[in-house]
Amino acid sequence: MAVGTELGSSLFLPKLAELLKVEPLSEKEKLFQLRLKDGSRLNHKPGQFVEVSVLGIGEAPISISSSPTRDDSFELVVRMVGNLTGALHRLQPGDTVGIRGPFGNGFPVSELLKRDLLFVAGGIGLCPLRSMIQHAIDKREQFGRIILLYGCRQPAEQLFRGELGEWRQRPDIEILESVDRCPVDVAWEGSVGVITTLFPQVSIDPGKTTALVVGPPVMYRFVVAECLKQGIAKERILLSLERRMKCGMGFCGHCQINNRYVCQDGPVFSYAELSRLGEAEL
């Protein structure tokens, strides 16, 4: 035990952050742009998360959806599902929240250099992936192809529609979109069906490709099977996992999968690693 050292500052102590912008993205999701009040940068890596506090209500782990390559602010997308996220949705620009982190490993950016990046986003899974997509766009020459497969339940649930429009205009990004179902009165140019229906529509070089997959748990088994079928190595299939990360430091126990703590060792894991963990059920 480190008996002689200084106590140091508490890792439970959030920094205060100001909401710069609050913007609805869909019926249930809002985008929050924040800046730390002490003037420091968050210094996060794509794929990491923060613990967001509404003081008096509580704290929740939220993935960072903007790239550190942009500016000194950062963005979070929050789906309203409970007390804390409900309280967040009631906040206005100028209001204050608490931020701890960033936590977790994030995407292994250095291992992705020169690789073709196959992003597979299911619903709100686009939010953590967006931090890496923006990073790859901002340092475009460092990466190979950028392919995005984006599946939602229906067209109205698509997030970042404006930004998706910009990405579609770029010749150096390939985007394929699907919805599980499309109401008859809604115009939709993408595919209809689950996200795996997009795989046959794209031709990849499996040896050069790393898949970055984020979506609901039910999606992973099917998407992993498709990636393997395409010939992508187990080590090159990266998944970001959602768990109940209360403390972010590997203390509280809630996010444990076998002997791994998602908050510290993850949230990004390779399928090679997850396939050895019985509790990952992949």
Contact residues: other proteins, CB under 8 A: 1-3, 5, 7-14, 16, 53, 55-60, 79, 81-82, 84-85, 96, 98, 216-217, 242-244, 246-247, 249-254, 256-259, 278-279
Handedness of CA 116, 120, 126, 129 (dihedral sign): negative
Strands 191-192 vs 174-179: parallel, antiparallel or unpaired: parallel
When the beta carbons of 53 and 67 are compared against other proteins, the nearer one is: 53
When the beta carbons of 97 and 176 are compared against other proteins, the nearer one is: 97
When the beta carbons of 84 and 146 are compared against other proteins, the nearer one is: 84
Q: Please report how close the Cβ of residue 139 comes to other proteins at its closest, in angstroms.
A: 30
Produce one character per residue of 69-105: b if its CB has 16 or more CB atoms within 10 Å, e if not.
eeeebbbbbbbeeeebbebbbebeeeeebbbbbbbbb
Place of tokens 């997308």: 77
Beta partners for residue 49, in sequence order = 63, 103
Kindly give, in sequence order, each residue whose CB lies less than 8 Å from that of residue 20, ignoring residues fewer than 6 positions away: 33, 34, 35, 73, 93
Q: Please report how close the Cβ of residue 212 comes to other proteins at its closest, in angstroms.
A: 21
Q: Please report how close the Cβ of residue 57 comes to other proteins at its closest, in angstroms.
A: 6
264: enclosing H helix or E strand: helix 262-265
When the beta carbons of 47 and 190 are compared against other proteins, the nearer one is: 47
Q: Please report how close the Cβ of residue 147 comes to other proteins at its closest, in angstroms.
A: 27
DSSP 8-state symbol, 64: B
Q: How far is CA 29 from CA 7, 40, 104, 127, 167, in A?
A: 39, 27, 23, 11, 21
Q: Please report how close the Cβ of residue 18 comes to other proteins at its closest, in angstroms.
A: 10
Instruction: Say if residue 206 is preceded by a cis peptide, omega within 30 of 0.
Output: no
When the beta carbons of 84 and 227 are compared against other proteins, the nearer one is: 84
When the beta carbons of 14 and 144 are compared against other proteins, the nearer one is: 14
When the beta carbons of 256 and 275 are compared against other proteins, the nearer one is: 256
Q: Please report how close the Cβ of residue 189 comes to other proteins at its closest, in angstroms.
A: 29
Q: Please report how close the Cβ of residue 63 comes to other proteins at its closest, in angstroms.
A: 13
